[in-house]
Structure 1
Amino acid sequence: MKTIYTNATFFTMDKENRIFENGMMVVQDQTISSIGPHSKEQMKDADQVVDLGGKWVMPGLVNVHSHIVMTLLRGIGDDMLLKPWLETKIWPIEAQFTTEIASVSTQLGILEMMKSGTTTFSDMFNPNGIDAGAVMETIGETGMRGAFSYTIFSLGSEADQKANLTGAEQFSKAYKNFADGRLTTMVAPHSPYACTPEAISESARIAKENDLMVHIHVSETDFEILDIETRYGARPVEHLRRLGLFDQPTVMAHGVVLNEEERSILKQHDVRVAHNPISNLKLGSGIADVVSLLKAGIKVGVATDGVASNNNFDMFEEMRTAALLQKGMYKDATQFPAQTALAMATRMGAEAIGMSHTGSLEAGKKADFITIYPHDKEHLQPLSEAYSHLLYAARGNDVCDVYINGKMVVKDRVSLTIDEEKVIAEANRLQGTLSR
């Protein structure tokens, strides 16, 4: 089916950063076949013409590190440092999760993501006590695109650790290509502090044998650096390099505490960084030096982390914070311009998680896009400065419509694939069953 979208301003976010006012985008089934100025010639054989009524159109946002199963933990354990937050709040409550709780929490998280403009995500979830396959099926039904990854831990008894690794390997094999290719998985050892060297080596093996990417938390705090140095005689990046984890393309969440030598290692092994500015601020972890990462040629994407440490999935807020932090840290307003921030939340983010078939509006890419109607929003005026507004003024609740794979999943801010009223009611009911 050939669908043509007209009467809109298209922000492609491709490498040329093209903008088409009164443009036209042609979608053939699930893929963009062309985009450019309005053309009467192309409209002749269209199966459907959609008049977008003067909206702005941009690629769907790409959230490169999240924890959607933890959505019900929003607001629990505020104002705590990372280590006690995990050990005394998050992990004990997650241990109470059932498959029902995990599925509803996941739906709530995806609902928030999609309605605020995210169409692709990369996630790590704690599999303890839940049917991971059932949760993946739930994600498939929402229409979302992304990677949902079974977290590997070295916690509990030796038997528990072995079962965890076995479960991760089985999940990796079963869901490498799921929901007609919209969903995949990565191999996800939690971190160098929550995994033994043996577990990390096994993670590397699973990733290599199944040709999967790796997703791991690394170099998030000063405490982590000292802890890993004390345990293993090397900083986290070198420790993981020695264990062979970087032999497969790896997404490293956080990267707050890195030196020049470590950035060189990341570049050498094509390790990508998921930058979580608001979560890092809230947990007191620090500010990642993203400017230095980009100058070193390292792929970087923007991420929200989980809402337990954020506390929302609004990627507009996240990329704006990312830009402002770098300007403030360097005391240089020219650092991290709007073009860089917007690219990191779209095309560059998609490339970082191995999904370069999305993230920009150009021929051959998947038709993942969002619309914003700016004409009745005072904070998006004057209309002539639209590109600036997308970073410095827009917010998630400005998003009107969301398309993934050419299919509309949100229309006029209402989800078409998730029962919003039911999910919200169930989320509040189930959250009340958790002891804390």
Structure 2
Amino acid sequence: MSGLLLRGGMLIPMTSREAIGLGDILIQDGRIAAIYPGGAPEEVRSSVSEIRNVAGQLVLPGLVNAHTHAAMTLFRSFADDLPLMRWLKEAIWPAEEKLTGDDVYWGTKLAIAEMLKSGITTFADMYFFMDQVAQASLDTGIRAHLSRGMVGFGPSAEKALTESAAFFRQYNGAGDGLTRVWLGPHAPYTCSPDYLKRVMALADELGTGLHIHLSETATEVDDMTKQYGLPPVELMDSIGLFERPVLAAHCVHLNEKERAILVEKGVGIAHNPVSNMKLASGVAPVEALRQAQAILALGTDGAASNNNLDLIEEMRQAALLQKVHLLDPLALPAYEALEMATIGGARALRWDDEIGTLEVGKRADLITINLQQPHLCPDHDPVSRLVYAAKGADVATVLVNGRILVDQGRLTCMDEEEVMAKATAAAYRLTRQ
């Protein structure tokens, strides 16, 4: 029998807490072929082509980074400790004007290296030179949900529509389904309602969804309300944006009506706690949204505003932030934070039919985490250990579509030293001239 058997791990399938336990997983043709609670029978063990002993490790679905700007690794630790609009206008936007496709390729590969090594198997990206982002993703084997950023004013507005359509037609479904393309209108403050209606029409023509920033700062909400008479989420609802698949990043400043709209319309909400804290954007009402059964995911945002892409850290920070903000230790429990990073992310990206849980028939996107370390001892609760004590560096093995991309903590899909050298050279040229 061909296939890979992962043997003896502590399975966290994310189908229910009750399903957690020791077991084996059989992977064939890029998919989960069988799950054996307690262990595979002898006839399977004796006939499979490869067995990997993962005893002493957690085995769970790959993590989903539901919102980032991957190539912004080039601006990591550049222009820190500034408010959002000063940070953008005085530092980031001027540097980004000098970006080339080659810069974005190497910046994206650097992000992918970091994400894979910390257990992220899928990422949702919005940026520029997206053909280079797609190529970096295909070259490394990661699962990618990509959107070309669109700004609805100035000379780039028409170009953004044309290039987004061409990007969709070239890359949607590429890499045996590893790549999906949505449209990426940046935000209501950079895309007018009239422009957004054109983006929506294009999305309907292509049969795809929309990735957008919403209600990230109080200033944005105030400005939109003064200009249009409605806050961002209500404004987007009034023009019909949510009648199609939408991935909304941030959603920090929401009124009660807006929270209800996001839940009713099934909008995927990508919460970015570390970026929101670092830029002092505010605290998103995650617990209230969770109680209302919203589709909640986790994102890192770009490395320029985080400053890492460690989604395990993001889980812990999301949970702790809700607890201290609400003065409630029961807010956002560990298992629910893990759901946001796995099946929640898959749902937000409308990919939960293929990824997000360990189930027979789903894609073999999964990770293992080495528990044999002092900071993860003793073994009282596997989920609490993962969310509150683990770190990205604890990831041992990463598979995407059944292909091993990280083996014992080492990348198998790229030359890590080359990637860091190329990305560093690009970063210096962009920020030191």
Q: Per the shorter chain, which TM-score range?
A: over 0.9
1:350 aligns with one of 335, 346, 350: 346
Aligned counterpart in structure 2 of residue 373 of structure 1, from 370, 373, 380: 370
Unmatched runs of 5 consecutive residues or more in structure 1: none
- How far apart are the structure 2 equivalents of 1:259 and 1:196? 21
Cα 1:230–1:190 shift into 2, 3 Å: same
Q: Which amino acid aligns with 1:364?
A: G
CA distance in 2, matches of 1:301, 1:134: 26
1:433 match: secondary structure:
helix
Q: Displacement of 1:174 after TM fit?
A: 2.2
TM-score normalised by the chain length of structure 2: 0.96
Counterpart residue type for residue 149 of structure 2: T
- Which shifted more, 10-19 or 281-290? 10-19
Is the 1:218–1:253 Cα contact (8 Å) retained in structure 2? yes
Cα contact 1:27–1:406 (8 A) shared by 2: yes
1:17-416 equivalence runs, <5 A: 17-21=18-22, 23-35=23-35, 36-40=37-41, 41-125=43-127, 127=128, 130=129, 132-157=130-155, 160-356=156-352, 357-375=354-372, 377-416=373-412
State whether residues 203 and 245 of structure 1, in contact with CA within 8 Å, keep that contact through their aligned partners in structure 2.
no
The runs of at least 4 consecutive aligned structure 1 residues that moved more than 6 Å come to none
Identity of aligned residues (%): 39
Q: Distance in 2 between matches of 1:388 and 1:199?
A: 45
Q: Which amino acid is 2:53 matched to?
A: D
Tell me how far apart the structure 2 counterparts of residues 207 and 286 of structure 1 sit (CA, whole Å). 31
Give, in whole Å, the separation in 2 of the partners of 1:270 and 1:59: 23
Deviations 1:216-235 (A, max 9, x none): 00001110011111222211
C-alpha deviation, 1:83, in angstroms: 1.6
- Secondary structure, in 3 states, of the residue corresponding to 1:100? helix
Question: How many Å apart are 1:107 and its aligned residue?
Answer: 0.1
Contact conserved, 1:29 with 1:406, CA < 8 A, in 2? yes
- Over the aligned positions, Cα root-mean-square deviation in angstroms equals 1.4
Amino acid at match of 2:270: A
Aligned-pair CA distance for 1:123: 0.9
- Check whether the contact 1:189–1:199 (CA below 8 A) recurs between aligned residues: no
SS in 1 for 2:219: helix
CA displacement, residues 183-224 of structure 1 (integer Å, 9 cap, x when unaligned)? 111111000011122221111112111121211000011100
Deviation (angstroms), 1:412: 1.4
Q: How many pairs were matched up? A: 428
Sort the Cα spacing of 1:308 and 1:17 in 2 relative to 1 into closer, same or farther, 3 A: farther
Aligned residue identity for 1:332? D
TM-score (norm 1): 0.95
Between 49-58 and 307-316, the greater mean CA deviation after superposition = 49-58
2: CA distance, partners of 1:271 / 1:386: 30
Aligned to 2:9: 8
The superposition leaves residues 118-168 of structure 1 with CA deviations (integer Å, 9 ceiling, x where unpaired) of 00111111x2xx4x32331221111101201101112433xx321122111
**Unpaired runs of 5+ in structure 2?**
none
Secondary structure (helix, strand or coil) at the match of 1:432 reads helix
- Per-residue Cα deviation, 1:88-113 (whole angstroms, up to 9, x for no partner): 21121111011111100000000000
User: Following the alignment from structure 2 to structure 1, what is the Cα–Cα distance between the partners of residues 395 and 146?
Assistant: 24
Partner amino acid, structure 2, of 1:366: R
CA contact (8 A) 2:134 2:144 kept: no
Query: Is contact 1:380-1:386 (8 Å) kept?
Result: no
Q: Take 2:318 and 2:13, find their aligned partners in 1: how far apart are those partners? A: 21
Q: Which letter does structure 1 place at the counterpart of 2:148?
A: Y
- Residue 435 of structure 1: CA displacement? 4.0
2:51 alignment partner AA: V
| Cα 1:10/1:164, change in 2 over 3 Å | same
Would you say the 8 A contact 1:149–1:185 is kept in 2? yes
The residue type paired with residue 10 of structure 2 is T
